[in-house]
């Protein structure tokens, strides 16, 4: 039988059988759940819109796309995997991440239970049968499936956001969003490249463009408070050394706010002397990565004056690297655009230095907004900036978009996106009242983007696996969050974020990057240990907050 015939047969079989579990999305969360649920004897299948595994690393293949978490914890903690895998870089690029996902796929034989190029469009809960009917667009995979449990693992950044720039369609050259980059790549050599947006994607792609392009114009609305990556190449000896530390690194994740292998410094920035502050700041700066953000004084993200000490240190470091004072002021202004760390900092390598080069230009589109895109370039402040290639690094309908773009209908036929129109409601960031047997991993009101992705995939994933095992063992076939538990969870999220500085930034953490989206914290702000404690308490009480039958 040919592969196409085999796929067709398995698609037909799936149209008639009822799976125990259907998973949407082949990133860290979805793959973890597929593997673990299979190990527990569930009949499980996974559908993925892309043509390969890797989730965000499949789609974000723009030049420079790179992880912002060190490789030791940006991987599964399963020993049979890390024993056999060597990393080439401390912060791996997208190509290395893709190779890692292929390795995991091969080691765990995951693809045999995955339908690729299959995008789920609609799904509804059949109350009588107690299962989900899922419809997708696919030429080769199943177009309709039934499953007792539906696990949505679409990640925080699967729906790119493109602003409605006047004339965008008229642009005559290649124009791509970083989150939908052409799989065959795009060469910047000798081109005049324009990058709109200076989030992590914009910073990364601009750095690469600066090296290849004839001219690079960066359109900045808000400066990114970037941190030094301190990249390192890793050889076999480095990997052996890393492996000896992995068990301790993985163990630390459960104690840290963001599922990392380091913790906040327990001291207050304001109680420390200026010399002590500088000492810690310098130490964390030299380590690179997110240490300056997540291993810094514990009051940095809750006290404005403490935060300002870090901002001023950061600003000084940036100014040292930029020749032109006006450019330095645009990139690192005297008045902070938002408290440091309340928008996710990007990790940069030569981002600031590149603005000293004559072919790299910075345009302040806060002062002079983009009024139009023409066939030949970008118009801002009445001036046309000529561009051959236009890069839209304008972000994502983050955290909720992957769920709300699917027409998900619950037991009374109502739609999840409508339910969330005036504010997200979940219980434990996992479940929804009115939507029985639907569970979400790496979604809203969970640690999600406040947490390292693989850590979240494993911690939340294991909780879901245990929950499904519990239901099976107790001959139960339906689980639904109660409206009261959901309301209390929402209030807890809003309450926990109130004393922090996060609400002060117009960030995607706050849903503030999408016009018309409700402005509210989209993550659970209590940190991973507190989150897992709440989940474990509920489980110990027979899944308090849920109705089981
Ligand atoms: O998106 P963003 P991203 N006119 O939303 C600008 C992860 N990630 O794709 O700040 C003009 O952060 C917008 O301006 P402003 C990481 O978690 C990780 O860069 O709203 N500009 C901003 O500059 C990251 O946080 C890596 O004023 C407009 C930019 O577009 C998350 O993904 C790499 C505009 C969007 O920045 C998202 O990052 C890449 C408009 N109308 C991504 N609308 C790693 O390193 C938006 N902008 C692992």
Please, is 383 exposed, middle or buried when counting C-beta atoms within 10 Å of its C-beta (0-12, 13-18, 19+)? exposed
User: Residue 246 Cα, ligand 1 centroid: separation in angstroms?
Assistant: 31
Mean pLDDT for 227-256 is 97
Residue 475 backbone zone (phi > 0: left; psi -120 to 50: alpha; other: beta)? left
- Residue-level pLDDT at 15: 66
DSSP 3-state assignment of 109? coil
Check: CB of residue 306 under 8 Å from CB of residue 268.
yes
User: Residue 62 Cα, ligand 1 centroid: separation in angstroms?
Assistant: 14
Q: Look at residues 398, 526, 402 and name the one whose alpha carbon lies nearest to residue 151.
A: 402
| Nearest protein Cα to ligand 1, atom 6 | 197
Alpha-carbon distance of 245 to 88, in angstroms, equals: 17
| Nearest protein Cα to ligand 1, atom 46 | 394
| Nearest protein Cα to ligand 1, atom 25 | 344
| Nearest protein Cα to ligand 1, atom 17 | 344
Instruction: Check pocket membership of 394 for ligand 1, CB cut-off 6 A.
Output: yes
| Domains (range + CATH), the chain | 3-53+110-159+398-450+463-548 (3.50.50.60), 59-76+161-235+261-395 (3.50.50.60)
Given a cut of 60, whether residue 33 has pLDDT beyond it is yes
Atom of ligand 1 nearest to the CA of 69: 48
User: Residue 508 Cα, ligand 1 centroid: separation in angstroms?
Assistant: 8
Q: What is the DSSP-derived secondary structure letter of residue 433? A: T
Alpha-carbon distance of 272 to 283, in angstroms, equals: 15
| Nearest protein Cα to ligand 1, atom 19 | 199
The alpha-carbon radius of gyration of the chain (Å, integer) is 23
Alpha-carbon distance of 425 to 433, in angstroms, equals: 8
Alpha-carbon distance of 441 to 537, in angstroms, equals: 19
Alpha-carbon distance of 447 to 431, in angstroms, equals: 14
- 191-224: pLDDT as tens digits: 999 999 999 999 999 999 999 999 999 999 999 9
- 350-373: pLDDT as tens digits: 999 999 999 999 999 999 999 999
Instruction: Check pocket membership of 160 for ligand 1, CB cut-off 6 A.
Output: no
Alpha-carbon distance of 478 to 418, in angstroms, equals: 23
- 42-64: pLDDT as tens digits: 999 999 999 999 999 999 999 99
140 — pLDDT class (breaks 50, 70, 90)? confident
Say how many C-beta atoms besides its own lie within 10 A of residue 103's C-beta. 14
**Which residues does residue 164 pair with via DSSP β-bridges, in sequence order?**
none
Residues, the chain = 549
Beta-sheet pairing, 383-386 with 377-380:
antiparallel
Instruction: Check pocket membership of 199 for ligand 1, CB cut-off 6 A.
Output: yes
Instruction: Check pocket membership of 289 for ligand 1, CB cut-off 6 A.
Output: no
Alpha-carbon distance of 497 to 434, in angstroms, equals: 26
| Nearest protein Cα to ligand 1, atom 37 | 395
Mean pLDDT for 105-132 is 97
Instruction: Check pocket membership of 197 for ligand 1, CB cut-off 6 A.
Output: yes
- 401-439: pLDDT as tens digits: 999 999 999 999 999 999 999 999 999 999 999 999 999
What is the DSSP annotation of 333-353?
-SS-SS-TTSSPPPEESSHHH
Q: Look at residues 383, 388, 386 and name the one whose alpha carbon lies nearest to residue 369.
A: 383
User: Residue 120 Cα, ligand 1 centroid: separation in angstroms?
Assistant: 26
Q: Which helix (H) or strand (E) covers residue 548, if one does?
A: strand 546-548
Check: CB of residue 357 under 8 Å from CB of residue 217.
no
pTM: 0.96
Please report how the helices 453-473 and 28-39 are oriented relative to each other, as an axis angle in degrees rounded to 10: 30
Check: CB of residue 462 under 8 Å from CB of residue 36.
yes
- Residue-level pLDDT at 348: 98
Instruction: Check pocket membership of 57 for ligand 1, CB cut-off 6 A.
Output: no
236 — pLDDT class (breaks 50, 70, 90)? very high
Given a cut of 60, whether residue 91 has pLDDT beyond it is yes
- Residue-level pLDDT at 16: 75
- Residue-level pLDDT at 31: 98
Choose which residue among 513, 514, 515, 522 to substitute to test ligand 1 binding: the one with the highest number of ligand atoms within 8 A of its C-beta.
513
Instruction: Check pocket membership of 202 for ligand 1, CB cut-off 6 A.
Output: yes
User: Residue 201 Cα, ligand 1 centroid: separation in angstroms?
Assistant: 6
- Residue-level pLDDT at 265: 97
Alpha-carbon distance of 366 to 471, in angstroms, equals: 53
Q: Which residues of 251-264 are buried (b: 16+ CB within 10 A; e: fewer)?
A: ebbeebbbbbbbeb
Return all residues near 318 (Cβ < 8 A) that are at least 6 apart: 226, 328, 331, 332, 352
| Nearest protein Cα to ligand 1, atom 20 | 513
Alpha-carbon distance of 154 to 29, in angstroms, equals: 9
Please give the order of strands across the beta sheet that includes 377-380: 370-374, 377-380, 383-386
DSSP 3-state assignment of 117? coil
Choose which residue among 200, 330, 453 to substitute to test ligand 1 binding: the one with the highest number of ligand atoms within 8 A of its C-beta.
200
Instruction: Check pocket membership of 403 for ligand 1, CB cut-off 6 A.
Output: no
Check: CB of residue 457 under 8 Å from CB of residue 29.
yes
Instruction: Check pocket membership of 338 for ligand 1, CB cut-off 6 A.
Output: no
């Amino acid at each position: 039988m040919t592969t196409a015939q085999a796929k067709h047969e398995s698609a037909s079989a799936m149209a008639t059988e009822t799976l125990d579990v259907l998973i949407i999305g082949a990133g860290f969360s979805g793959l973890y759940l597929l593997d673990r649920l299979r190990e527990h004897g569930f009949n499980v299948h996974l559908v993925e819109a892309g043509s390969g595994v890797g989730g965000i690393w499949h789609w974000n293949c723009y030049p420079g796309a790179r992880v912002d978490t060190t490789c030791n914890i940006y991987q599964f903690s399963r020993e049979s995997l890390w024993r056999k895998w060597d990393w080439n870089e401390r912060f791996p690029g997208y190509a290395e991440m893709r190779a890692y996902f292929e390795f995991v796929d091969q080691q765990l034989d995951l693809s045999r239970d995955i339908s690729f190029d299959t995008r789920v469009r609609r799904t509804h809960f059949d109350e009588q049968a107690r299962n989900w009917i899922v419809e997708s667009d696919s030429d080769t995979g199943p177009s309709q499936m039934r499953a007792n449990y539906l696990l949505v693992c679409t990640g925080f950044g699967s729906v790119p956001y493109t602003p409605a720039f006047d004339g965008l369609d008229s642009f005559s050259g290649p124009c791509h969003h970083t989150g939908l980059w052409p799989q065959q790549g795009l060469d910047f050599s000798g081109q005049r490249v324009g990058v709109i947006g200076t989030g992590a994607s914009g910073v990364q792609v601009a750095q690469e463009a600066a090296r290849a392009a004839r001219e690079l114009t960066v359109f900045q609305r808000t400066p990114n408070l970037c941190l030094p990556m301190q990249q390192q190449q890793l050889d076999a000896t480095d990997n052996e050394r890393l492996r000896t530390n992995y068990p301790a690194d993985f163990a630390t994740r459960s104690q840290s706010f963001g599922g990392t292998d380091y913790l906040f410094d327990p001291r207050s920035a304001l109680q420390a002397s200026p010399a002590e502050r500088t000492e810690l700041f310098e130490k964390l700066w030299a380590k690179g990565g997110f240490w300056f953000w997540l291993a810094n004084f514990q009051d940095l993200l809750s006290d404005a004056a403490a935060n300002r000490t870090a901002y001023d240190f950061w600003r000084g470091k940036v100014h040292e690297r930029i020749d032109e004072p006006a450019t330095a002021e645009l990139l690192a202004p005297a008045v902070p655009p938002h408290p440091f760390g309340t928008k996710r900092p990007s990790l940069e390598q030569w981002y600031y230095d590149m603005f000293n080069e004559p072919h790299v230009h910075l345009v302040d589109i806060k002062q002079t907004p983009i009024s139009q895109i023409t066939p030949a370039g970008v118009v801002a402040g009445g001036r046309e900036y000529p561009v051959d290639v236009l890069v839209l690094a304008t972000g994502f309908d983050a955290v909720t978009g992957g769920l709300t773009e699917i027409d998900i209908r619950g037991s009374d036929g109502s739609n999840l996106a409508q339910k969330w129109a005036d504010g997200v409601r979940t219980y434990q960031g996992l479940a929804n009242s009115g939507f029985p047997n639907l569970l979400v991993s790496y979604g809203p009101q969970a640690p999600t983007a406040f947490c390292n992705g693989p850590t979240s995939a494993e911690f939340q994933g294991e909780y879901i696996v245990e929950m499904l095992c519990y239901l099976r063992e107790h001959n139960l076939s339906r689980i639904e969050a109660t409206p009261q538990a959901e309301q209390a969870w929402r209030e807890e999220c809003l309450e926990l974020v109130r004393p922090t500085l996060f609400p002060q930034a117009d960030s995607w953490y706050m849903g503030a990057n999408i016009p018309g989206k409700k402005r509210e914290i989209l993550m659970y702000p209590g940190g991973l240990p507190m989150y897992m404690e709440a989940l474990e308490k509920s489980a110990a009480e027979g899944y308090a907050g849920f109705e089981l039958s």
